[in-house]
Amino acid sequence: MKVIDLRLNRVAQLFNTFDPSPFHERDLDDDAEAYIVACAREITRRHKIKLVLHLPPEEAARENARQIEQAVNHYFLYRAQAYRRELLQVFRQARWSLLVGLGTLITCLGLRGLIVLLNLKDHPLAGEIVSEGLLIIGWVAMWRPVELVLYAWHPTRQTLRVYRDLSCSPVEIHVREAP
């Protein structure tokens, strides 16, 4: 199990102080979230993650300190659900783009075939330019769908995995010795 250590002076440092939600539903502080996620990305999927918070004795004894694990797991589960919705949106966009791209490619190839059939003997150069232009337009129309299908979804899926892993990670509180 790999450990992500956070040294805090107050429990409130972990959470967004402007969030009016009950403690166990609060958003994490942006900097704290960024640090935890960056550390979690460095940990391979073969290892489980544990979050260890080092707090002063008076903060570790507070009532809300016992709810930290629930609050942190709830937050990361919420973020994982948001990334899942985003991933589904990328796939919907990929399907639509693929439909539009294939339609454009088929249309361009059909028009290109029509130009070849017409065999413009009076203007062979113009026929060839238009024919090649249609071929290029057809394949350029496929650029975005291919990008979405092959590449665009992968970073979102990786982030979803990180948040999912963090949503079920144990959170321990260690009492820090007073200086």
- Lowest-confidence region among 41-45, 62-66, 164-168, 171-175: 62-66
- pLDDT of the residue at 120: 67
Q: Which residues contact 75 (CB under 8 A, 6 or more apart)?
A: 26, 27, 28, 33
The pLDDT > 70 percentage for the chain reads 96
Do 106 and 163 belong to one domain? Answer: no
Question: Which pLDDT tens digit goes with each residue over 140-158?
Answer: 999 999 999 999 999 999 9
Do 136 and 117 belong to one domain? Answer: yes
Average of per-residue pLDDT across 69-79: 94
- Confidence at 179, pLDDT banded by 50, 70, 90: low
Do 129 and 101 belong to one domain? Answer: yes
Do 75 and 96 belong to one domain? Answer: no
Do 38 and 76 belong to one domain? Answer: yes
Do 131 and 166 belong to one domain? Answer: no
With contact defined as beta carbons under 8 Å apart, do 69 and 171 qualify? yes
Do 70 and 102 belong to one domain? Answer: no
Do 58 and 7 belong to one domain? Answer: yes
Could you give the number of structural domains in the chain? Answer: 2
Do 77 and 104 belong to one domain? Answer: no
- pLDDT of the residue at 178: 64
Q: Which tokens hold the place of 177?
A: 């010795």
Distance CA 99, CA 95 (A): 6
| Averaged pLDDT score across all residues of the chain | 90
Domain extent, residue 14, equals 2-81+159-175
Do 163 and 152 belong to one domain? Answer: no
- CB neighbour class for 165 (10 Å; exposed up to 12, middle 13-18, buried from 19): middle
Average of per-residue pLDDT across 19-24: 72
Do 15 and 39 belong to one domain? Answer: yes
Could you tell me where the DSSP H helices lie in the chain? 30-42, 57-60, 68-118, 124-141, 143-147, 153-167
Average of per-residue pLDDT across 20-44: 87
Tell me the residue type at 12: A
Maximal C-alpha separation, the chain: 93
Question: Which pLDDT tens digit goes with each residue over 119-131?
Answer: 766 777 888 888 8
- Confidence at 93, pLDDT banded by 50, 70, 90: very high
Do 141 and 114 belong to one domain? Answer: yes
| Predicted structure pTM score | 0.80
Average of per-residue pLDDT across 94-110: 96
- pLDDT of the residue at 16: 83
